[in-house]
């Protein structure tokens, strides 16, 4: 079965073709970073408009990349949420329209399910069950992944996502959006111990995260001060140390708590070199193993949506094509979720 995957939940327009037998046949991603850079963050309206312009040509391009025609496509999977509503609607409308035109089934995928199943795109995919640490600009969570559709959230952020904290701290230090990679580069030149920031929630049991206090501590450290280049690097280092230590400690705790030995790291912050080194070392010392999907499968992409969609479409799941709006709708027709 060949599935067309579509991802438009935030600021990447992504399209992929995945074949259950042959694997990934095409994978295109367009990042809108340049479009949003001068605004210092993602502007939802600009994101939606850009998705509208790019999505159909990218689908044509991906089909050509795979050397296929639309007739070869057996099903469509699109990101149905969570994300920016206008951006999501672009992917949803295109997916549902193409499904109708081509007469193939369509399924809406949860964006995080895509991330959690992304390791399946690698030849050395880890077996279920494993613990996943998802750290990106939009989400931060630890989940136990027992199989497709079998997820248990072990902990998540109560406020900012890890990538968001990197980006906000980078902004405070005068670095360009998205500042995570620039902050990491600056931290390389920083010295340990010059700035000690709090390790959020490490002293408490549980696996939730909170990064707003860490961000505030950085604000307090830099506000009203003329920091020279070395001091800025020291602040970056102090921030990265606190962040890495927190993510490593919680990941180890999650492995201990579940009794599992494999940790999968996904999301843009997973590109952070010190996080990778420290996690690899700490998990190995605890007798486990860390799996890092390659960067293009860690950050937002449609290959992961196509893989998740492939599992669900093969199992017979599909959305009804009519989009329903009802002028009259008795309240007592509603049923509780899951019934």
Residues of the shown chain interacting with ligand KG4 in the complex, contacts defined by CB under 6 A = 10, 136-138, 163, 166-167, 178-181, 184, 267-269, 271-272, 299-300
Q: How far, in Å, CA of 201 to CA of 12, rounded?
A: 32
Contact stretch for Zn ion (CB under 5 A) within 34-42, 130-138, 145-153, 200-208: 130-138
Contact stretch for Zn ion (CB under 5 A) within 20-28, 89-97, 128-136, 326-334: 128-136
- Nearer to Zn ion by Cβ, of 83 and 288: the residue is 83
Show the beta-strand stretches assigned E in 90-188: 106-110, 130-135, 140-147, 150-156
- Nearer to ligand KG4 by Cβ, of 19 and 240: the residue is 240
- Nearer to ligand KG4 by Cβ, of 70 and 174: the residue is 174
The DSSP annotation for 68-100 comes to --GGG--EEEEEEESS-HHHHHHHHHHHHHHHH
- Nearer to Zn ion by Cβ, of 61 and 82: the residue is 82
- Nearer to ligand KG4 by Cβ, of 105 and 138: the residue is 138
Per-residue contact string for residues 220-239; x = within reach of Zn ion by CB under 5 A: --------------------
251 binds, options ligand KG4, Zn ion, none, Cβ within 5 to 8 A by partner type: none
The DSSP annotation for 250-308 comes to HHHHHHHHHT--EEEEESGGGG-HHHHHHHHHHHHHTT-EEE---HHHHSS-SHHHHHH
CB of 58 to ligand KG4, least distance (A): 18
Note whether 300 binds Zn ion by CB under 5 A: yes
77 binds, options ligand KG4, Zn ion, none, Cβ within 5 to 8 A by partner type: none
Return the structure tokens found at 233: 């690097």
- Could you tell me if 52 and 91 are in contact, meaning their C-beta atoms sit under 8 angstroms apart? no
DSSP-based three-state secondary structure for 165: helix
- Could you tell me if 91 and 7 are in contact, meaning their C-beta atoms sit under 8 angstroms apart? yes
166 binds, options Zn ion, ligand KG4, none, Cβ within 5 to 8 A by partner type: ligand KG4
CB of 317 to ligand KG4, least distance (A): 25
Return the structure tokens found at 157: 């952020």
- Could you tell me if 263 and 288 are in contact, meaning their C-beta atoms sit under 8 angstroms apart? yes
CB of 132 to ligand KG4, least distance (A): 13
**Site residues for Zn ion per CB under 5 A:** 136, 300
């Amino acid at each position: 079965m060949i599935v067309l995957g579509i991802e438009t939940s935030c600021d990447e327009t992504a399209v992929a073709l995945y074949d259950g037998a042959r694997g990934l046949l095409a994978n295109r991603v367009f990042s809108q970073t340049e479009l949003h850079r001068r605004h210092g963050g993602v502007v939802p309206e600009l994101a939606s408009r850009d998705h509208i312009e790019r999505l159909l040509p990218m689908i044509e391009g991906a089909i050509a990349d795979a050397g296929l025609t639309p007739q070869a496509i057996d099903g469509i999977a699109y990101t149905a949420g969570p994300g920016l509503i206008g951006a999501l609607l672009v992917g949803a409308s295109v997916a549902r329209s193409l499904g109708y035109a081509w007469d193939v089934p369509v399924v809406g995928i949860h964006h995080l399910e895509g991330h959690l199943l992304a390791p399946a795109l690698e030849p050395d995919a880890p077996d279920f069950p494993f613990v996943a640490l998802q750290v990106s600009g939009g989400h931060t969570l630890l989940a136990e992944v027992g199989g497709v559709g079998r997820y248990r959230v072990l902990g998540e952020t109560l406020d900012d996502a890890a990538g968001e904290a990197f980006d906000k701290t980078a902004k405070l230090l005068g670095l360009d959006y998205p500042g995570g990679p620039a902050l990491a580069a600056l931290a390389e030149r920083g010295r340990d111990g010059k700035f000690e920031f709090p390790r959020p929630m490490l002293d408490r049991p549980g696996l939730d995260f909170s990064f707003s206090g860490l961000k505030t501590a950085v604000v307090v450290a830099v506000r009203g001060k003329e920091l020279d280049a070395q001091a800025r690097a020291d602040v970056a280092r102090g921030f990265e140390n606190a962040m890495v230590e927190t993510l490593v400690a919680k990941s180890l705790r999650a492995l201990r708590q579940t009794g599992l030995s494999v940790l999968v790291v996904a999301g843009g912050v997973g590109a952070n070199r010190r996080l990778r080194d420290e996690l690899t070392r700490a998990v190995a010392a605890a007798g486990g193993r860390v799996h890092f999907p390659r960067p293009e499968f860690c950050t937002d992409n449609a290959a992961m949506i196509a893989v998740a969609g492939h599992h669900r479409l093969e199992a017979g799941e599909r959305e009804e094509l009519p989009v329903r709006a009802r002028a009259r709708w008795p309240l007592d027709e509603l049923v509780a979720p899951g019934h």
